Amino acid sequence: MFKPHVTVACVVHAEGKFLLVEETINGKVLWNQPAGHLEADETLIQAAERELWEETGIRATPQHFVRLHQWLAPDHTPFLRFLFVIELAEMCATEPHDSDIDRCLWLSAEEILNAKNLRSALVAESIRCYQQGERYPLSLIGAFNWPFTEGAK
């Protein structure tokens, strides 16, 4: 049976800038969106909120679903990556709670699209999807009869 990794990621936008996290992996400084794996007891939206808070210290709920990327990493690991948008009124201070995150950066789309240190090509692709105006209601990926949320009975 095919079992891809399920991850979530957020394009966080405010005042014309995008929020990325910086992490050092195998001695290399890399940029990524706030992102991570779906846990067993959470919905996709809850996973996005949790990852955002862990990696940036920001508490916010995605407003839109952007795209599902089926992706094969360079090491041939298969992923399903659910991408969301979080629009903030203004750039805010960050405080990562995940020890793997070195710091957060507010960057322009141009800086991201031209960066040579993106964790994956999906970081730039996510910005391009955002720029193209891709937005779908969160109900598109709603949880059904999910026992860990209110109203499941």
- CATH, residue 54: 3.90.79.10
Q: Which two tokens stand for residue 71?
A: 């992706």
* Whether residue 151 has pLDDT greater than 60: no
pLDDT digits (tens, 9 = 90+) for 6-64: 999 999 999 999 999 999 999 999 999 999 999 988 999 999 999 999 999 999 999 99
Give domain status of residue 153, yes or no.
Answer: no
* Whether residue 148 has pLDDT greater than 80: no
pLDDT digits (tens, 9 = 90+) for 108-125: 999 999 999 999 999 999
Tell me the pLDDT band of 144, cut-offs 50, 70 and 90.
confident
As for how many domains the chain has, the answer is: 1
Give domain status of residue 144, yes or no.
Answer: no
Give domain status of residue 149, yes or no.
Answer: no
Give domain status of residue 102, yes or no.
Answer: yes
Domain of residue 119 covers 3-139
d(CA 25, CA 30): 7
d(CA 22, CA 29): 7
DSSP for the chain, please give it: ----EEEEEEEEEETTEEEEEEEEETTEEEEE-SEEEPPTT--HHHHHHHHHHHHH-------EEEEEEEEE-TT--EEEEEEEEEE-SS-------STTEEEEEEE-HHHHHT-S-BSSHHHHHHHHHHHTT--B-GGGG--SS-TTSTT--
Give domain status of residue 28, yes or no.
Answer: yes
CA nearest neighbour of 108 among 16, 10, 29: 16
Tell me the pLDDT band of 153, cut-offs 50, 70 and 90.
very low
Write down the pLDDT at residue 134.
87
